[in-house]
Amino acid sequence: MSVQWHEFPSKDDLDAALAAKIAAVLNAAIAERGVASFAVSGGRTPAGMFKALSEQDVAWDKVYATLVDERWVPVEHADSNERTVRQHLLTGAASAIRFVSPVCEAPTPHAGEAEIEARLAAMPQPFDVLILGMGDDGHTASLFPGAAELEHACASTTLVAAVTPPVAPHRRITLTLPTIARARAVIVHITGTGKKALLHTALGEQKAVTEQYPIRRVLDAAAGQKHVFWAD
CB of 59 to ligand LXAUTJHC, least distance (A): 26
Segment near ligand LXAUTJHC (CB under 6 A); pick from 38-46, 86-94, 210-218, 219-227: 38-46
Quote the CA–CA distance of 66 and 76 in Å, as a whole number: 17
CB of 193 to ligand LXAUTJHC, least distance (A): 14
Strand pairing report for 160-163 and 129-132:
unpaired
CB of 83 to ligand LXAUTJHC, least distance (A): 12
Question: Contact, 6 vs 229, CB < 8 A?
Answer: yes
Q: What is the DSSP letter of 6?
A: E
Quote the CA–CA distance of 226 and 14 in Å, as a whole number: 16
Comparison of 56 and 174: residue with beta carbon closer to ligand LXAUTJHC: 174
Q: Looking only at residues 142 through 161 of this chain, which bind ligand LXAUTJHC when binding is defined by CB under 6 A? A: 142
For residue 109, give the nearest of 139, 64, 67, 137 by alpha carbon: 67
For residue 3, give the nearest of 225, 232, 207 by alpha carbon: 225
**3-class SS of residue 211:** coil
By the rule CB under 6 A, 37 interacts with ligand LXAUTJHC: no
Q: Looking at the DSSP assignment, which residues form a beta bridge with residue 99?
A: 65
Judged by CB under 6 A, how many residues of this single chain contact ligand LXAUTJHC?
A: 11
By the rule CB under 6 A, 42 interacts with ligand LXAUTJHC: yes
For the chain, the residue count is 232
CB of 75 to ligand LXAUTJHC, least distance (A): 14
Q: Which residues contribute to the site for ligand LXAUTJHC (CB under 6 A)?
A: 41-45, 69, 81, 133, 135, 142, 168
